[in-house]
């Protein structure tokens, strides 16, 4: 398991500002050198966005354009902020602040509290769930542990969307939220929670942002002091910004516009927490003069993985889909994704474990393999399968199955029933082991039908349901087994799965896998009802599920395995079907692969203008087939081959004389601009021009690598060379 950019691969500190730019591709270089005014970087998965923005900051600092103490880079996790700080140190940009929104706001609030408010700052509570429980008690509302978590999540959502208790019911309905209790009741609990906090003199995590916003709004002198300190801002993962975070960012900026934001609307997967890609997609509307840079060169994944990722988004709908990026792999070809259908979930888990065992035996480190699933409740069956196969593993973003509170409590109840079952009225009408387990777990909250909505209540039910299904499988394998035998089996499994597995295969939910990558990824449970999840009802929810699968696909560097099961249990009714998201992509499925291309999917730069923005609504596009070799007709996925519009091995009809003159002209242009030669045109683009020998700007613009900006700047020279005219290398303007 590694981060999307590997911290151990940092180069030595560059010896000059210009050296900071070495190794950047043309689009990354545009990001790094665009140091004034608003900049929006649309960065696809694996395109080196962290590299681009850290080199941007470092170049500005090393060149003396930016003062390090005036730069604030903000992101969403402490891990990402720490990685950014480490990269900046390696690039010689010491003194730049890289923090999460909450960390930056907390520092400011602590510093200005005595001046702006007076007295000691209230204590910050780490976990608000006990306060919510106390608020429920004050309202005489009984909440179990799962409902406490869900109500707490609703309060958090309300605060980051700047919704007060009185407006909660209307706001929740407008947002289409599945509320865990009656909205009026949640509003009452929310109000009581806020009253309780004030009475106890404490604040919560969201209050840090709310109070910082309030201080900056109400005290112009404080806002002026903050703005004097920080003059240049960089925001990573901008698609995940909430309305409250955007409000804080606006107050930090004031009337200035030295802001660089980086994001990808196709990786918006946290809307349930209040995150919205609208701030990213509306950036040009708010900053008409912004420079927009698209990063689409994928350095992470093979062409085969990238092709699947592009195909997945090609079927997407909605606003985020209109601005998706068409990735172009920069890696050598790899194996095709493997699709596997299994009869049932245990067979799927055993099949994945068997393939992982083979990979480990062939030399693939376990830490470079991941199994990704939709919900944490799916982990247990893979934990067991990997343990049975002798493969070490580690869980990320979730408690081990047998460490979950509801599972521990259920185990205690089953143990008690096994010991004193003869005196337990719950077991009077039971006829076999599965019915005994269902009876016992019904007292812990298990029901025959899953609860509506998502969140903690659903996760708790799924944990108990996993125990019910485990009992059914155990009884099928051992018809004479007793409740005591099952308890012994659970104890044995719990003991085996607590073995140290630090260097093991990663088991993770798709949400917790964001920002990570592995050589080999197994995407499991890709059946309707799980992907998309059952409770995703609206078009917006379905599209977020598609984006979640896209995030999973783009975690893989080299190998990708996708699987689903036709039934939950052995012998069960095979009524499931593969995820609709795989239609047209997996072999033998209905529908055409590919689909319409991204709106402006190619990489490049667009500067502020009166024309249509790179972030403006895209016109409807007709379907276009994938790029094909003009010689043999094979589909092309390699970036270089797509530029040539032919396979590398197919015969070339290049005009050698034109190519040589283009090379000489490019060398003059590069020397005059002080840029590497590839920043003018790459070798492959020059080869494509020499093979096509265009007659006019229209033909020239169709060649991949010749964007609008380069056509304006170099088009006349290139066309003159193609017609045999003498060109002195003069720059034709920008």
Known binding residues are: 43-50
Contacts of 657 (CB under 8 A, 6+ apart): none
What one-character-per-residue DSSP string does 527-584 give? BTBBTTBTT--SHHHHHHHHHHHHHHHTTEEEEEEEEEEEESSTTS-----B-GGGTT
Ranges of beta strands (E only) in 277-385 are 291-295, 297-298, 328-329, 338-344, 369-373
3-state secondary structure of 700: helix
Query: How many whole angstroms separate alpha carbon 457 and alpha carbon 141?
Result: 16
Beta bridge partners of 297: 328
Q: Is 335 helix (H, G, I), strand (E, B) or coil?
A: coil
> Which residues, in sequence order, are bridge partners of residue 344?
567
| Cα–Cα distance for residue pair 555/519, rounded to 1 Å | 8
| Ramachandran region, residue 674 (left: φ > 0; alpha: ψ -120 to 50; beta: rest) | left
Q: What contacts 664, CB < 8 A, 6 or more positions away?
A: none
The residue whose two tokens read 């393939």 is 355
Provide the annotated binding site for ATP. 43-50
532 CB-side CA count, 13 A: 18
**Alpha carbon distances (Å) from 42 to 291, 327, 547, 604, 645:** 11, 12, 16, 10, 26
Fill in the DSSP letter of residue 445: T
- Rounded distance, CA 701 to CA 710, Å? 9
Q: How many helices (H) and strands (E) does the chain have?
A: 28, 18
What are the C-alpha distances in Å from 559 to residues 165, 214, 300, 392, 626?
48, 49, 12, 20, 22
Placement of tokens 């016109």 in the chain: 619
HSE, CB side, 13 Å, CA atoms: give it for residue 66: 35
Determine the Cα–Cα distance for residues 41 and 554; give it in Å rounded to an integer: 19
Please, which residues have CB within 8 angstroms of residue 634's CB and are 6 or more apart in sequence? 628, 647
Question: Residue 308: left (phi > 0), alpha (psi -120 to 50), or beta?
Answer: alpha
Q: Greatest CA separation found in the chain? A: 102
Q: Which two tokens stand for residue 285?
A: 């509307």
First to last CA, the chain: 44
The helix (H) or strand (E) run that includes residue 437 is helix 433-442
Q: How far apart are CA 268 and CA 29, in angstroms?
A: 26
Q: What is the rounded CA–CA span in Å between residue 480 and residue 432?
A: 9
* Contact (Cβ atoms closer than 8 angstroms) between residue 468 and residue 437: yes
Secondary structure (DSSP) of 613-663: -TTSPPPP----PPPB-TTT--B--SHHHHHHTS-TTSPP---HHHHHHHH
């Amino acid at each position: 398991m590694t981060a999307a950019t590997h911290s151990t691969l940092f180069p030595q500190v560059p010896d000059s500002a210009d050296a900071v730019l070495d190794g950047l591709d043309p689009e990354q270089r545009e990001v790094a050198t665009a140091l004034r005014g608003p900049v929006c970087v649309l960065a696809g998965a694996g395109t080196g966005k962290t590299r681009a923005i850290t080199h941007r900051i470092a170049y500005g600092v090393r060149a003396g354009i930016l003062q390090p103490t005036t730069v604030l880079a903000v992101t969403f996790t402490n891990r990402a902020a720490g990685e950014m700080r480490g990269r900046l140190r390696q690039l010689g940009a010491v003194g730049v602040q890289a923090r999460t929104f909450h960390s930056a706001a907390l520092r400011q609030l602590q510093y200005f509290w005595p001046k702006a408010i007076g007295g000691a700052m209230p204590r910050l509570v780490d976990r608000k769930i006990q306060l919510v429980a106390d608020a429920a008690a004050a309202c005489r509302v009984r909440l179990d542990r799962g409902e406490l978590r869900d109500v707490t999540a609703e309060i958090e959502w309300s605060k980051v969307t700047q919704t007060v208790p009185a407006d909660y019911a209307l706001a929740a309905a407008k947002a289409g939220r599945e509320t865990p209790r009656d909205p009026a009741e949640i509003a009452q609990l929310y109000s009581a929670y806020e009253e309780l906090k004030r009475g106890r003199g404490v604040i919560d995590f969201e209050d840090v942002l709310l109070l910082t916003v309030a201080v900056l709004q109400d005290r112009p002198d404080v806002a002026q002091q903050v703005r004097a300190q920080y003059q240049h801002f960089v925001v990573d993962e901008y698609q995940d910004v909430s309305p409250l975070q955007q409000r804080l960012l606006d107050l930090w900026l004031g009337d200035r516009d030295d802001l660089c934001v980086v994001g990808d609307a196709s990786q918006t997967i946290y809307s349930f927490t209040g995150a919205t890609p609208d701030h990213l997609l509306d950036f040009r509307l708010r900053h008409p003069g912004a420079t927009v840079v698209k990063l689409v060169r994928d350095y992470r994944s093979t062409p085969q993985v990238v092709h699947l990722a592009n195909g997945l988004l090609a079927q997407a709908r909605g606003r985020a889909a209109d601005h998706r990026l068409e990735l172009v792999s920069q890696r050598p070809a790899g194996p095709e994704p493997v699709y596997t259908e299994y009869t049932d979930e245990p067979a799927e888990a055993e099949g994945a474990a068997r393939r992982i065992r083979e990979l480990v035996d062939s030399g693939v480190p376990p830490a470079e393999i991941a199994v990704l699933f939709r919900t944490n409740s799916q982990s247990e069956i893979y934990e067991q399968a990997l343990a049975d196969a002798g493969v070490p593993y580690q869980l990320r973003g979730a408690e081990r199955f047998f460490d979950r509170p509801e599972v521990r409590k259920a185990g205690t109840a089953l143990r008690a029933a096994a010991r004193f079952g003869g005196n337990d009225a719950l077991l009077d009408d039971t006829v076999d082991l599965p019915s005994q387990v269902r009876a016992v777990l019904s007292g812990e909250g298990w029901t025959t039908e899953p609860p509506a909505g998502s969140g903690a209540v659903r996760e708790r039910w799924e944990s108990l349901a996993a125990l019910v299904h485990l009992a059914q499988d155990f009884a099928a394998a051992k018809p004479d087994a007793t409740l005591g035998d099952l308890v012994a089996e659970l104890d044995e499994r719990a003991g085996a799965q607590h073995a140290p597995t630090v260097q093991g295969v990663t088991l993770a939910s798709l949400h917790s896998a964001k920002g990570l990558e592995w050589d080999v990824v197994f995407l499991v449970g890709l059946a309707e009802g799980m992907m998309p999840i059952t409770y995703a009802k609206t078009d917006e929810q379905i599209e977020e599920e598609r984006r979640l699968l896209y995030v999973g696909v783009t975690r893989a560097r080299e190998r990708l395995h996708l699987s689903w099961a036709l039934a939950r249990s052995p012998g069960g009714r095979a009524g499931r079907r593969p995820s609709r998201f795989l239609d047209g992509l997996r072999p033998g499925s209905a529908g055409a692969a590919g689909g319409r291309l991204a709106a402006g999917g190619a990489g490049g730069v667009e500067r502020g203008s009166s024309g249509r923005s790179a972030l403006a609504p895209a016109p409807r596009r007709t379907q276009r087939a994938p790029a094909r070799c003009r010689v043999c007709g094979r589909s092309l996925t390699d970036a270089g081959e797509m530029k040539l519009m032919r396979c590398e091995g197919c015969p070339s009809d290049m005009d050698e004389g034109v190519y040589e003159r283009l090379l000489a002209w490019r060398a003059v242009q590069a020397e005059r601009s002080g840029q590497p030669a590839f920043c003018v045109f790459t070798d492959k683009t020059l080869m494509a021009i020499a093979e096509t020998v265009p007659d006019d700007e229209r033909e020239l613009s169709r060649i991949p690598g010749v964007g609008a900006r380069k056509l304006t700047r170099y088009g006349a020279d290139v066309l003159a060379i193609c017609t045999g005219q003498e060109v002195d290398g003069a720059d034709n303007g920008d």
